[in-house]
Amino acid sequence: MDERLRALGLVEGQRAARDLFAEVTARGLIAPGWLDSEVASRIGELARELYPRVPHRPLPVVRSGPRCMPSGSPGSIDDRAIEPDDMVVADLGPMFAGYGTLFARTAVAGRAPERLRLVDDLPKIFTAVRDAFHAELPMTGRQLYAEAEVLAVKAGWVLSARHAGRLTSMPPPEHADGSRPEAWIGPDNDRPLRRTTDEGRQAHWTLEIHLADEHRGFGGSYTGLLDLA
């Protein structure tokens, strides 16, 4: 695929995912009492309403409560009902796989102050990390991960994942090859992020901020494009 068209597709996929999540929030689709799978189905129905030309779009991945933490991956806990004040992560990436876009946002099913603070801090830290990337040339994966760690700690959180992003061409973590540190924004990647990939294409990156309060056992995620935004 032409490089320009590939970049435009990534940006368009993110725009559509952002618009969809805004509508999810406006309609109150994430609420206590619903199963994670039911919320995913409701988001799927909304997507069919908003984007009727793609009627068979895959469903998003919705995780609530302990399933938002690294130890609570989607496959480790049965589908659960969202409880009051649960953190809920909506991963819309599967719905826009055709664009190659990864996109995740976090909501709180309630008004718990510290959990709302985490949700507010996620985009702030995401933006600060992205600004650091754009401000410094060159920037390695290790350096950008360290920047994310510092910003998380300053805000009173910890990074809850061993990476803070990946090449847009990388599959989800459960299918990814962990032996390729150069494909991740993480402590083992000492290569510049601005480079040509081994496949001869311009490297485009997804930034993933995963924050947690380890003592209270809750966390959330915020995922979007790094270099094209």
- Write the CA distances from 32 to 28, 81, 85, integer angstroms: 10, 7, 8
Buried b (16+ CB within 10 A) or exposed e, 202-223: ebbbbbbbbbbbeeeebbbbbb
**Domain residue ranges in the chain:** 3-225
Tell me what pLDDT residue 71 has. Answer: 61
Which residues on adjacent β-strands are paired with residue 84?
Answer: none
DSSP letters, 81-150, are BPPTT-EEEEE-GGGGGGGT---EEEEESS--HHHHHHHHHHHHHHHHHHHHHHHSSS-BHHHHHHHHHH
Q: Please report the pLDDT score of residue 178 as a whole number.
A: 57
Q: What is the pLDDT of residue 81?
A: 97
**Among 2-6, 101-105, 163-167, which stretch is predicted with the lowest mean pLDDT?**
2-6
| pLDDT tens-place string over residues 96-155 | 888 888 999 999 999 999 999 999 999 999 999 999 999 988 899 999 999 999 999 999
Q: What percent of the chain has pLDDT over 70?
A: 91
**With 80 as the cut, is the pLDDT of residue 160 above it?**
yes
Q: Phi then psi for 126, rounded to 5 degrees?
A: -55, -50
- The pLDDT tens digits for 59-76 are 999 999 999 987 655 555
Q: What is the pLDDT of residue 136?
A: 84
CATH superfamily of 3-225: Creatinase/methionine aminopeptidase superfamily (3.90.230.10)
pLDDT at residue 173, as a whole number:
52
